[in-house]
Amino acid sequence: MKSDPTDLTLFLAQSVVDQPSLVRVSKRGPTVMVRVAPGEEGRFIGRQGRVIQAIRTLVRAASDPRERVNVDLDAPRKG
């Protein structure tokens, strides 16, 4: 049984940030977009991108192998 990539991404993202109630996850095509509280983007990405890469690996492993899933940070635009 394969899990829903958005539910798994939400669970993993809430596990790594300080304010899990502010995590929002949406799906845009094959990409799962994650929005975290302002100032917590670095915690979600991790040093040299290790945390987000680990989340991507877990989500891809748990999803349907025929579906190419990517996880990305949905950061608000500045300016």
Entry pTM? 0.88
Specify the pLDDT at position 37: 92
Main-chain dihedrals φ then ψ at residue 6, nearest 5 degrees:
-70, -40
Do residues 31 and 60 make contact, with C-beta atoms less than 8 angstroms apart? no
Distance of CA 33 to the CA centre of its chain: 6
> Computed over its alpha carbons, how large is the radius of gyration of the chain?
12
Q: What pLDDT score was predicted for residue 78?
A: 65
Residues 6+ apart with CB under 8 A from 56: 70, 71
Residue 79 pLDDT: 54
Residue by residue, pLDDT tens for the chain (79 residues) are 466 899 999 999 999 999 999 999 999 999 999 999 999 999 999 999 999 999 999 999 998 888 889 999 987 766 5
